[in-house]
Amino acid sequence: MILTVTLNTALDLTYTVPALVPHTSHRISEMSERPGGKGVNVARVLSALGHDTVVTGFAGGATGAALRDLLGALPRRPSDAPLTDALVTVAGNTRRTTAVVDRTTGDTTQLNEPGPHINTDEWAAFLRTYADLLPGADAVALCGSLPPGIHVGAYAELIRLARTAGVPALLDTSGEPLRRGIAARPDLVKPNADELAQLTGAREPLRATRDARRRGAHNVVASLGADGLLAVTPDGTWRAAPPSAVRGNPTGAGDSAVAGLLSGLAEELDWPDRLARAVALSTATVLAPAAGEFDRSAYADLLPRVTVARQASAA
């Protein structure tokens, strides 16, 4: 079983308009809603890859109830593995995220609510749930922003608990939670270029990724957008890139990359195969017609064509 943690779950709303023009009203041509938050997105992809997955974190209020209903009613294929809801109920209302897709340009504008305030009793209830789930986990993903009320070192605390339980932990967050979390020595962190620059002060990807690893992470995989992934690990340094640039909605592409990395870890794949899977999944997510999904046929086509090249050893 793979465990994903989403402390700030969301009900994801996507509106598509013919063209997004500031200071005007718009008619929506398409609308969708789905259960969201980074770890929830990761779990959905892991299930599609055939991994039993458990989702935990927080859900509350009418929005949280809608999220859980949608999570339980996800369309499934016979090959999909079970996806289990172990979310902790809270008093506050789960946030919404709103994506507005401009059909003319393909650009997406994102509006994210902050999330409900989590009190000390709710945090304690989550820690009990997390501790109960860890012994059955092959790996855990700690993903996304922290809702109000959660201390900034929360991910560092969860990483230490996972390490005590002997469970590899992947961290995908930003800002001070990333800085604190990476110092707790997670097995893998997956920042994007902006998050790396904020963490290290360096804009050159290889330098920044090496610096991030020196700060405590065992492995660092940097997401470089259309340029793919850069991995700095004890086994070597690699760059992985899609066969060509694609256009589409990038919502959830990074989460699909996390799912690829985490599934590769659980299956004990070597780094080139993990990275190829992550890049193929990420690119197939950009190509999918629905935000946050991945195009399965595109994934199968892309996987053997991802370029993975070994780089010079880390300095």
The residues that are catalytic are 255
Taking CA 42 as the corner, what is the angle to CA 181 and CA 120, rounded to the nearest 5 degrees? 50
Q: Which helix (H) or strand (E) holds 47?
A: helix 38-48
Q: How far apart are CA 308 and CA 236, in angstroms?
A: 12
Q: Is 95 helix (H, G, I), strand (E, B) or coil?
A: strand
Asked whether the beta carbons of 117 and 147 are under 8 A apart, the reply is: yes
Asked whether the beta carbons of 47 and 80 are under 8 A apart, the reply is: yes
Q: How far apart are CA 216 and CA 219, in angstroms?
A: 9
CA 174 and chain centroid, separation = 12
Asked whether the beta carbons of 278 and 264 are under 8 A apart, the reply is: yes
DSSP string, 129-150: HHHHHGGG-SEEEEESPPPTTS
DSSP 8-state secondary structure symbol assigned to residue 192: B
Q: Is 240 helix (H, G, I), strand (E, B) or coil?
A: strand
Contacts of residue 181, Cβ cutoff 8 Å, sequence gap at least 6: 142, 153, 155, 156, 159, 171, 173, 189
Strand partners, 53: 2, 83
Q: Which helix (H) or strand (E) holds 108?
A: strand 108-112
